[in-house]
Amino acid sequence: MSQRSAPTTEAADAILSAAEACFERFGITKTTMEDVARAAEVSRATVYRHFADRESLIMASVVRRARMNIEPARSYIANCTSFEQKIVEGMCHNVRRGQRDPMVHLLVSPEEMTLSSRLLWQSGAAVEMTYELWAPILDEARLLGEMRKDVDVRLLCEWIAELELTYISNNDDSDASMDRFREKIRRFLVPSLLPA
């Protein structure tokens, strides 16, 4: 059984890598399963064996890239010395990574907004990936008394996802823009989380 699962994972990863190259070249909505098969040097049937349709292929790519960023983001946040710094610098770190990730940048571009809205928001994937990263950090802060006990962590993760994606889609990735984002989080988000 394990002999069959390893090649399947490798094949799926190769297809996803080929798909991401196609997304960058043609755009997400214009990439076809035929394009992906050609780039991966496999048949269309092989692509469909791993991914039921184009949307499941796109979602798999989004989830894979998000998960690849979770551990580095957690490590970065773990080095922050206060709860405020974890929230502020953690969100800024995620926005910077998103701005530099070609796939994420494509997803939040105006041309892809309809697709990304359906895939990221209606499916709940954006909130789920944000929750996967932030829930352990927020739960620990609540246990330590650094965050209010009545905060709905899932709802907060939804808000964080919305804020992060809004700033990732902002074409201004200058230091000044990031400083304004940092200040808004510090002034408005952090105080809403602190114990009375």
pLDDT digits (tens, 9 = 90+) for 182-191: 999 999 999 9
Phi/psi region, residue 174 (left: phi>0; alpha: psi -120 to 50; beta: rest), is beta
pLDDT of residue 16: 94
pLDDT digits (tens, 9 = 90+) for 83-96: 999 999 999 999 99
Residues 15 and 109 both lie in one domain: no
pLDDT digits (tens, 9 = 90+) for 52-89: 999 899 889 888 888 888 999 999 999 999 999 999 99
List alpha helices for 51-152, DSSP H.
Answer: 54-78, 83-100, 102-107, 113-116, 125-143
The number of domains in the chain is: 2
Q: What is the CATH number of the domain that holds 177?
A: 1.10.357
DSSP one-letter code for 152 = -
CB within 8 Å of 123: residues ≥ 6 apart: 59
Residues 27 and 88 both lie in one domain: no
Do 189 and 119 form a contact (C-beta atoms < 8 A)? no
Q: Determine the structural domain holding residue 147 and report its residue range.
A: 58-193
Residues 43 and 77 both lie in one domain: no
Amino acid at 62: V
Q: What is the CATH number of the domain that holds 32?
A: 1.10.10.60
How far apart, in Å, are the Cα atoms of 195 and each of 63, 83, 111, 162? Answer: 33, 12, 42, 23
pTM, rounded to two decimals:
0.84
